[in-house]
Amino acid sequence: MEMVAEQPKSAFRGAEAVLNLPPTSSVSIAYHSLFGPHDDLILLELYEKLLPYVLHHRVTLRGQPDEDAVLCTMSKTYTVKFVGTSNSVLLIPPSDQLVLGGNTQDCDEKDRVKKLVAPVIKVAPGVMELVEVAPRIDRLKMLLSENPYRSDDALMSEELDEMGKNNTRFYSWSDLIDRVQASDDELRSGLQALSAVEIDGYWRIVDQNYMDGILNMLLHNLVLNDWSLNGLNEIEVVGVLQSDGFPCEIAQHCLQVYGSKTDDGVWKLDEKQTWVYAFDVSSLPSAPAERFSMLFRERPKWEWKDLQPYIRDLSAPGLSSEGLLLKYTRRTQPTPDAEPVFSAR
């Protein structure tokens, strides 16, 4: 013990004394002078791969007070569950953190110099564990369905700025992050799957009748102006739709929903989607069984590329699109090189 006293004191107290204990030496394990329940100290079990995200401030906990919290990285969502233990888990801080919460280091100083002490600050009742889960996109859908964008929104967008937003609930990105348990990436793809559009800083889904109206107008203009289905000029299309009374954001949104941008910078209307688009994803049931039964009611046979937009938001960890197809559809392929066709089971 004399030999020990000559060493720098700090290296031989707290967690270091326990972790770096040389063979044939010993350390006294004692209750800390501030020993207590310390409910504000939480142990979080982490996947090693998540560690850099946490240490670089890239994770947040999300949830309403009445929900179990989730932990989100940029791309994934994890539930946080408390797992208790019947073992006694003695928690020992390192020497430079022996004093927690700003109390002075008044305790048995003489004792410490004399011998090695590792003080136990609390007995941990268990740890918080993380399990990867699907984002709660259901809630996103519920929130956005409260107020779909309709034709009256387009007419009175100016008045809304003054009065409407106080009475009706609209959600900006940061409102959604506060309310929906999902990572940023998952929220973004959830918004995309619901065909939501950001208008005046608020995320909205667009009422299907209104979308049908603008699509009709677009097709009408296509014939009228002799535009090519495969070479729509965005500025021209948006300009014409605007003069027909549709807001610019909605006109652009229409191109995004019913078409795709080619490498030449022009828009190409997706023929099949344009004619078949009977409903938007946000109006479909979220439960896979109901979703598939509704889709097959609408059309008994689907090719993958037509079906994919309607089910891409359903896949969850441990349940891929392939898994969903296996479970809920019958796959037929007339010839080996033909496109597979999916029908109801």
Partner 1 sequence: MQIQVKCNCGEQNCPEWAIVELQGVIEPQPAFQDRLQNLEIGQLCRASSQTYTFTVGYHELTGSKVPLKKPLLVLKKIRHADEEKVELEVIGIIRQRILFKTRPKALISSKFNLILP
Q: According to the binding rule CB under 8 A, does residue 57 interact with partner 1?
A: yes
Q: Minimum Å distance from CB 90 to partner 1?
A: 4
How far is 284 from 286, CA to CA, in rounded Å?
Answer: 6
168 binds partner 1 (CB under 8 A): no
Residue 342 one-letter amino acid: F
* Residue 63 in the binding site for partner 1 (CB under 8 A): yes
**46 lies in the site for partner 1, by CB under 8 A:** yes
33 scored as a contact of partner 1 (CB under 8 A): yes
Neighbours of 143 (CB within 10 A): 18
132 binds partner 1 (CB under 8 A): no
DSSP for 180-192? Answer: S-S-HHHHHHHHH
Alpha carbon separation from 9 to 21, 109, 307 (Å, rounded): 14, 11, 69
Residue 291 to residues 177, 179, 284: CA-CA distances in angstroms? 26, 25, 6
Of positions 5, 31, 236, 285, contacts partner 1 by CB under 8 A: 31
**Amino acid letter, 85:** T
Residues 6+ apart with CB under 8 A from 143: 169, 171, 176, 179, 180
Q: Find the shortest distance in angstroms from Cβ 39 to partner 1.
A: 8
Using rule CB under 8 A, residue 271 touches partner 1:
no
In terms of CB distance, is 63 or 247 closer to partner 1? Answer: 63
118 binds partner 1 (CB under 8 A): yes
Q: Which residue has the tokens 């590792």?
A: 118
Q: Work out whether 68 is an interface residue with partner 1 (CB under 8 A).
A: no
- Residues in region 176-205 near partner 1 by CB under 8 A: 177-178
Q: Which residues contact 95 (CB under 8 A, 6 or more apart)?
A: 10, 11, 13, 14, 15, 16, 17
Would you count residue 61 as binding partner 1 (CB under 8 A)? yes
Question: Is 172 one of the binding residues for partner 1 (CB under 8 A)?
Answer: no
**Angstrom distance (rounded) from CA 301 to CA 293:** 12
* Helix (H) / strand (E) containing 328: helix 321-328
**Token digits for 71?**
């932990």
If the CB atoms of residues 182 and 205 are measured against partner 1, the closer one turns out to be: 182
Q: Which of 2, 3, 8, 22 binds partner 1 (CB under 8 A)?
A: 22
Integer CA distances (angstroms), 327 to 157, 320, 345, in order: 45, 11, 9
Instruction: Provide the residue type at 2 as one letter.
Output: E
Nearer to partner 1, 177 or 217 (CB): 177
Per CB under 8 A, the list member of 4, 79, 81, 90 interacting with partner 1 is 90
Helix (H, G, I), strand (E, B) or coil at 169: coil
The two structure tokens encoding residue 190: 């959830």
Does 75 bind partner 1 (CB under 8 A)? Our answer is: no
Q: Which of 1, 8, 56, 158 binds partner 1 (CB under 8 A)?
A: 56
CA angle 189, 295, 281 (to 5 degrees): 25
Q: Which of 11, 45, 113, 225 binds partner 1 (CB under 8 A)?
A: 45
- How many residues bind partner 1, per CB under 8 A? 68
> Interface with partner 1 includes 51 (CB under 8 A)?
yes
21 binds partner 1 (CB under 8 A): yes
Using CB under 8 A, which of the segments 37-45, 150-158, 163-171, 247-255 binds partner 1?
37-45
Q: What is the nearest approach in angstroms of partner 1 to the Cβ of residue 25?
A: 6
**Site for partner 1, rule CB under 8 A:** 14-16, 18-19, 21-35, 39-48, 51-52, 54-57, 59-65, 69, 71, 86-94, 96-97, 100, 107-108, 111, 118-120, 123-124, 127, 177-178
